[in-house]
Amino acid sequence: MKYAYINGTILEHAQATLHISDLGLRRGYAVFEFLRVLEGIPVFLEDHLDRFARSAALLELEPPHGPEELARVVLELIGRNQISEGGIQMLLTGGYSEDAFTPGRPNLIITPIPVNPPPPQLYEKGGKIILHQNRRELPEAKTTDYLVAVRLAKRARAEGATEVVYHDGRWVFEGGRSSLLLVKNGVLVTAKEEVLPGITRKHLLEVARPLLPIEERPFTLEELYYADEVILTGATRQVMPITQIEDRPVGNGQVGPWAKVLMEAFQRHLGAYLSQRRANAVHKASPH
């Protein structure tokens, strides 16, 4: 992590600082976006930039740059930091606030983030999730409010879980850092309202549509408990099968057939995306 970007300037990462009056620090008033970098390519960059803009609009924050300039900065940071595999975070805060409450001019920070991919056995044998009653504020926005997820991370590690999943006592929403899907009787089900619109989830649904029926609707805790298969999606974990909910097995406790099919289909889709971006880069670099 050699370089970061703050408000129009790329500078050494160690020198990248904000004033203590920033509303993101004082009140948690900020949105962010995180995307994976694979083979030096920012994965699904266009979708992440779209969601970043939607999240900012929900907090009535206006980014200082449009998507083209943001994409240029992301690519420049990847090049300057020589990132082959890793992550990039874009953060837009409420800005400096004299009264520690009223938003000012937003601060934009873009910085590389180290990534530790999940261990391979989670894809071979499946992971475990734990449940917690919680509903995020403004769930459609990717805000920096991760208080519950961070606080419960210690419990999740202690119980050998890979994720905490939120519910309200009846309806299931999403993971603290992931989207949630289930398969029942050959139908793929995932919540669409009152959850963050996951980018990996979006692309998984694209590759899943020709393969099996899809229902985008709310589902209950009971449906989750009795699902044939459960799947988490996210930028870092990509498509991960879940074989245990607290102390209960999912289905027969093994990675299910649809999870295997969808993992393979997503990897083909991701490979095609990376190949297309490499080809586009070569085309732009070649003399005309």
Domain boundary among 87, 113, 139: 113
Question: Do residues 77 and 112 lie in contact, with contact meaning Cβ atoms separated by under 8 Å?
Answer: yes
Q: Count the Cβ atoms, other than its own, within 10 Å of residue 92.
A: 26
Kindly tell me the burial class for residue 166, based on how many C-beta atoms sit within 10 Å of its own C-beta (0-12, 13-18, 19 or more): buried
Tokens of 111: 């910085």
Residue 55 is inside which H or E element, if any? helix 45-58
Tell whether 280 is covered by a domain: no
Asked whether residue 170 falls in the same domain as residue 61, the answer is no
- Give the pLDDT band of residue 89 (cuts 50, 70, 90): very high
Average pLDDT of the chain, as a whole number? 96
Question: Do residues 88 and 45 lie in contact, with contact meaning Cβ atoms separated by under 8 Å?
Answer: no
Asked whether residue 14 falls in the same domain as residue 80, the answer is yes
Question: Do residues 232 and 242 lie in contact, with contact meaning Cβ atoms separated by under 8 Å?
Answer: yes
Q: What is the pLDDT of residue 1?
A: 79
Asked whether residue 139 falls in the same domain as residue 216, the answer is yes
Q: What is the pLDDT of residue 283?
A: 60
- The Cα 9–Cα 110 span in angstroms is 10
Asked whether residue 172 falls in the same domain as residue 101, the answer is no
Asked whether residue 109 falls in the same domain as residue 180, the answer is no
pLDDT at residue 281 tops 90: no
Question: Do residues 234 and 178 lie in contact, with contact meaning Cβ atoms separated by under 8 Å?
Answer: yes
Asked whether residue 42 falls in the same domain as residue 130, the answer is no
Question: Which residues form the domain of 92?
Answer: 3-113
Please state the pTM of the whole predicted model. 0.95
Q: What is the pLDDT of residue 286?
A: 63
Bridge partners of 89, per DSSP, are 34, 111
Asked whether residue 77 falls in the same domain as residue 24, the answer is yes
Tell whether 282 is covered by a domain: no
- The Cα 127–Cα 107 span in angstroms is 37
pLDDT at residue 288 tops 80: no
Q: How far is CA 10 from the centre of its chain?
A: 25
Tell whether 12 is covered by a domain: yes
Q: What is the pLDDT of residue 287?
A: 66
- Give the pLDDT band of residue 195 (cuts 50, 70, 90): very high
Domain boundary among 79, 113, 147: 113
Tell whether 248 is covered by a domain: yes
Tell whether 281 is covered by a domain: no
Asked whether residue 91 falls in the same domain as residue 132, the answer is no
Domain boundary among 56, 85, 113: 113
Q: What is the pLDDT of residue 280?
A: 85
- The CATH number of whichever domain residue 177 belongs to comes to 3.20.10.10
pLDDT at residue 176 tops 90: yes
Handedness of CA 4, 6, 12, 17 (dihedral sign): negative
Instruction: Domain count for the chain, please give it.
Output: 2
- The CATH number of whichever domain residue 84 belongs to comes to 3.30.470.10
Asked whether residue 78 falls in the same domain as residue 150, the answer is no
Asked whether residue 79 falls in the same domain as residue 204, the answer is no
Query: What letter would DSSP give residue 115?
Result: -
pLDDT at residue 284 tops 90: no
Helix then strand count (H, E) for the chain reads: 8, 16
Tokens of 87: 């992550």
pLDDT at residue 32 tops 90: yes
- Give the pLDDT band of residue 282 (cuts 50, 70, 90): confident
Asked whether residue 152 falls in the same domain as residue 256, the answer is yes
For the chain, what percent of residues have pLDDT higher than 70?
Answer: 98
Asked whether residue 175 falls in the same domain as residue 72, the answer is no
Q: Beta strand 187-190 with 214-216: parallel, antiparallel or unpaired?
A: parallel
pLDDT at residue 167 tops 90: yes
Tell whether 31 is covered by a domain: yes
- Kindly give the interhelix angle for 45-58 and 199-208, rounded to the nearest 10 degrees: 130
Query: What letter would DSSP give residue 7?
Result: T
pLDDT digits (tens, 9 = 90+) for 90-138: 999 999 999 999 999 999 999 999 999 999 999 999 999 999 999 999 9
